[in-house]
Amino acid sequence: AQSVTQLDSHVSVSEGTPVLLRCNYSSSYSPSLFWYVQHPNKGLQLLLKYTSAATLVKGINGFEAEFKKSETSFHLTKPSAHMSDAAEYFCVVSPYSSASKIIFGSGTRLSIRP
Amino acid sequence: GAGVSQSPSNKVTEKGKDVELRCDPISGHTALYWYRQRLGQGLEFLIYFQGNSAPDKSGLPSDRFSAERTGESVSTLTIQRTQQEDSAVYLCAGRTGVNTGELFFGEGSRLTVL
């Protein structure tokens, strides 16, 4: 069975400091992993994706994530937070075996302090 | 079009009325998903279409909910006899037929049932 856990429902950082949003997954098979961002009253936008190529994935807006199979983690990081990063972030697992069973994490709300 | 288009963007209706929500995916995206997002919550899977295959309706919460898609084009989600608990944002997403591909989301239809 597949599952995804976002370990923090809310993260608050100061502008210019690093961001870490944590995600752990469980999957019977090699999944594809994604991070999406949702700004208020908007749809979800892809930040980055892992599909069994390089384990360190770079995305848009300076975000990156590292796939660690031994830890079943796919944490999202950014070296320096910007005010515009304030949004909801979703970690997503897409098992190769079943296209319909995409699993979304419960989301992490990122707040940026000036 | 260039992106996924959803209409209406906002719909206010009275309890007991029927509503129809529309999704126009990106051309060539054979897979189409509907999700429900209640205020402050994550995404709840509703239904999945893939080409001309039978849809996966396992996420529809009741028989008041139905969805159609003709081929690989527009999809409509219909909610009959709306209830206040149906109030949510309904998100549509498309994908190429590859299970490793990303989802492309529309901006959603916000439904408010009075």
Question: What pLDDT is attached to residue B103?
Answer: 92
Taking alpha carbons only, the member of A102, A70, A107 closest to residue A3 is A102
- All residue ranges of chain A with pLDDT < 70 are none
Question: What pLDDT is attached to residue A10?
Answer: 97
- C-alpha to C-alpha distances, A67 to A31, A71, A104, B6, B34, nearest whole angstrom: 11, 9, 17, 33, 28
CA dist B58 and A111 (Å) reads 35
Question: What pLDDT is attached to residue A40?
Answer: 87
Find the residue in B nearest to A98 (Cα).
B99
> Which residues in chain A are contacts of B43 at CB distance < 8 A?
44, 90, 104
B74 close to A (CB below 8 A): no
- All residue ranges of chain B with pLDDT < 70 are 1, 97
For residues A36-55, one letter each, b for 16 or more C-beta atoms within 10 angstroms of the residue's C-beta and e for the rest, the string is: bbbeeeebbebbbbbbeeee
Binding-face residues of A in 2-31 toward B, CB within 8 A: none
Judged by CB atoms closer than 8 Å, whether chains meet at B103 and A95 is answered as: no
Question: What pLDDT is attached to residue B1?
Answer: 54
Interface test with B, best of A27, A33, A35, A44 (most B CBs within 10 A): A44
Question: What pLDDT is attached to residue B22?
Answer: 97
Phi and psi at B85, nearest 5°, equal -70, -5
